[in-house]
Structure formats: structure tokens, C-alpha cells
Structure 1
């Protein structure tokens, strides 16, 4: 008879669907912390982020968040700065989209920050909506 080797299957390792993040208190930055926007994910629990102070930093996802909070490019995060390395930091918190909008409304984030990085709006090309071709009935009959 085979022995039981563990405490359960892969579903146990995934954990419960914790929905307590919906109503959490909005955390503002303190000294030694900075807001940033993720530029790209690098793998191995690291990402490249552009901080609000204009410095591009290599950030490490802390162990409490690793494989529990998924971070993607364009997300607004809170970074803990390092005293001994100015170009590196640790990700403390990922802001949900509604929290990021509140931060922008409170003036914590600059006005030029684009919160929805996946949506590209091009203000220069205002006639972009007119990119269609009209066919007349005679043209359709030739096809």
C-alpha cells in the first residue's frame, strides 16, 4: 500500500480566493518610499520601474507578494528605496486600478501619468475615425 507523501494536491497549494483586497485602506508613501510605474517584467521576481522622481529602478518583488500578487507592465506600485543602492528598490505594494485613480485625484501622482498603459490614445491624429472606404452600389456589383 503506497504512503501518503503530502498534505494534498496542487489545488491546496493554490490557496483560497481571498477577496479581502476589495476594501483596503489606501496607503500613501512615507519617507524611504516612492511611487512607480512598471515598465517591463524581467523574470526571477524582478521588474524595471520608472519612479515618480524620474529615476529608472530595478525592483525586486518581496516574498510575501511573490506568486500571490501578479504584477504586469503599466501597474502603479509602491517601492521601498534602498539606502545603499539608489538604482534598486523593493516592491512593497501594488495599487489596484481604482486606488491608482484615487492617488492621481489626490495629487500624489503627476498629471502626466498614464494609468491605463495598455490603451494608447493618439491625440495628434484626430481624423483617425475616418479610415473607412465607401463603396457605391455599382462598385459592389463589379465584385
Structure 2
């Protein structure tokens, strides 16, 4: 039999999806949602995140929904938007992941006063800073 020298399939003809420079609209939280930072990856589509909400900050186990799985990679230290559950206070669902420049923008407009975001550095859990100045 002859050796298999072909390049195989049509996959090699496909181009890469290059959309790194796309600027998307900054989505702010609504009622029943909270900003959070990933503290631990638990596996099987679950993460542990520190939520910045009116409870003064709380760690919750968050489920990565199917729309984000295998498409949006969530790592430790990432800023995410979670949907809080009415019936389970210690659990939440990941709605979206903020890019690093979006996280900086959230800090700049001071959406949540407990947000002390710096990319690669965990949030600070300090007292709120006044908007004056």
C-alpha cells in the first residue's frame, strides 16, 4: 500500500477567526446579578467566586452555563458577571466573563465601590472610596 502523504481534509483551508480588536458594549449588572472574581476552578463546569454584592462580599459556587462552556475560558482571577439564585444563596450562575480592559473600565466608572480591580491582581476587599475628587 502507498504511504499516506496527503494533508487531509478541508480543515487546512479554513481561516482563523480573528476578532481580537472587536470592541463590545460594556454590560452592567441588573437586579439579581452581581460582579464576582474567580477564586478557584472546581471542575465539571463549576467555579468558586467571590461575589461583590450588598452582603459585603461572599464566596459562592458558580455554575458555568452551557453557552459559555468550551467557548469562553474562565481562569482564576477573572472578573465575571453572575446571576444570583433566589432559592439558593450560596450558589450562582456565570452569565458572562469581562475582558481585562472591560474590568478596568468597571473600576474607572466605579460601578461597585468594593471593586478594586487590577488585571492579574485579586480584588481588594477594602472600604468604599468616595466618588469626590
TM-score, normalised via structure 2 length: 0.72
> Which has a greater percent of helix?
1
Query: Does the C-alpha gap of structure 1 residues 64 and 21 become closer, same or farther in structure 2, counting only changes over 3 Å?
Result: farther
Q: 1:44 & 1:22 partners in 2: Cα distance? A: 30
Query: Which whole-Å CA distance do the structure 2 matches of 1:117 and 1:72 have between them?
Result: 11
Moved over 3 A (4+): 109-112
Corresponding residue of 2:24? 24
Q: Which runs of 5+ in 2 are unaligned?
A: 1-8, 123-133
Q: Tell me the distance in 2 between the aligned counterparts of 1:80 and 1:88.
A: 9
Deviation at 1:108, TM superposition (A): 1.2
Alignment of 1:1-143 (within 5 A): 17=17, 19=19, 22-53=22-53, 54-110=57-113, 113-117=116-120
Cα RMSD (Å)? 2.5
CA-to-partner distance for each residue in 1:82-131, whole Å, 9 max, x for gaps? Answer: 01000100000100000000000111133662432359xxxxxxxxxxxx
Q: Is the 8 A contact 2:52 2:58 kept in 1?
A: yes
Larger gyration radius, structure 1 or structure 2: 1
Find the aligned partners of 2:72 and 2:98 in 1 and give their Cα distance. 10
1:17-48, Cα deviation, whole Å (9 max, x unpaired): 36278211100000010000000111101100
- Secondary structure of the residue that 1:103 maps to in structure 2? helix
Residues paired across the two proteins, number: 109
